[in-house]
């Protein structure tokens, strides 16, 4: 009886934890290297029964976006800074229906290490504007619903310095190399053969030396 109650309790907890995930505007990839050109994908799900009819994206200052890929059925209005560098884009003309999503693509080059935040607003057909401009969610945090017009978490891209995972081992630092590894194996093999050869010589020598005929 107790076992049955335990099993039912576990099933109930699993059912609670398996509720529908809240869809947020995401920008992928979530981690890039500074100085390398990247394609960024802005993924926009529709969270409400109303269609999404416009998406406005502000580009992070740490990323120089220089090209916007046309999305079928949507027009892209580029927003510029005074120096004519891109600072954002507004997508209009298309529709993202309930339980659907749309992806928009841009090309850009991350310029400096740190967290780059993509602030976005999502406009629905009934005029409601959902701002995705709040603090980004920490890695592993559960997505929380913030209401149709309250600011939700913005998407962030972590920019790292190229090669920060660790430089290759320098010569003479004790870490060795593949050549040293194979040379060591050869040396061990030669030593083993030498020991075996000496053992064979001792095993095959006569027990007594022949007497001198003279």
pLDDT in tens, 24-83: 899 999 999 999 999 999 999 998 999 999 999 999 999 999 999 999 999 999 999 999
- As beta bridge partners, residue 198 has none
Task: Give the pLDDT band (50/70/90) at residue 181.
Answer: low
The SS3 of residue 91 is strand
Distance between CA atoms of residues 123 and 50, nearest Å: 10
What is the phi/psi pair of residue 181, to 5°?
A: -65, -50
pLDDT value of position 148: 77
d(Cα 189, Cα 183) in Å, to the nearest integer? 10
Note the pLDDT tens digit of each residue in 114-173: 999 999 999 999 999 999 999 998 765 555 666 778 999 999 999 999 665 544 444 444
Domains of the chain with CATH codes: 22-160 (2.60.40.2230)
CB 130 within 8 A of CB 124: yes
Residues 6+ apart with CB under 8 A from 212: none
Task: Say what the pLDDT of residue 163 is.
Answer: 64
- Residues 74-126 have pLDDT tens digits of 999 999 999 999 999 999 999 999 999 999 999 999 999 999 999 999 999 99
Any idea of the CA torsion for 201, 206, 209, 213, to the nearest 10 degrees?
-120
């Amino acid at each position: 009886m107790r076992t049955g109650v335990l099993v039912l309790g576990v099933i109930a907890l699993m059912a609670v934890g398996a509720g529908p995930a809240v869809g947020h505007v995401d920008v992928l990839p979530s981690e890039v290297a500074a100085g390398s050109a990247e394609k960024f994908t802005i993924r926009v799900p529709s969270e409400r029964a109303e269609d999404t009819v416009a998406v406005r994206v502000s580009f992070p200052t740490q990323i120089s976006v220089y090209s916007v890929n046309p999305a079928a059925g949507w027009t892209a209005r580029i927003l510029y800074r005074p120096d004519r560098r891109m600072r954002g884009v507004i997508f209009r003309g298309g529709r993202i229906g309930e339980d659907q999503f749309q992806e928009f693509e841009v090309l850009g080059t991350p310029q400096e290490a740190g967290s780059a935040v993509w602030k976005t607003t999502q406009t629905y057909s009934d005029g409601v504007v959902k701002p995705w401009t709040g603090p980004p969610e920490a890695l592993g945090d559960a997505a929380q619903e913030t209401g149709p017009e309250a600011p939700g978490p913005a998407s962030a891209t972590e920019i790292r310095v190229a090669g920060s995972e660790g430089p290759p081992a320098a010569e003479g630092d004790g870490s060795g190399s593949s050549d040293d590894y194979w040379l060591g194996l050869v040396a061990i093999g030669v030593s083993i053969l030498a020991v075996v050869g000496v053992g064979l010589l001792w095993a095959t020598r006569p027990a007594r030396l022949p007497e001198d005929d003279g």
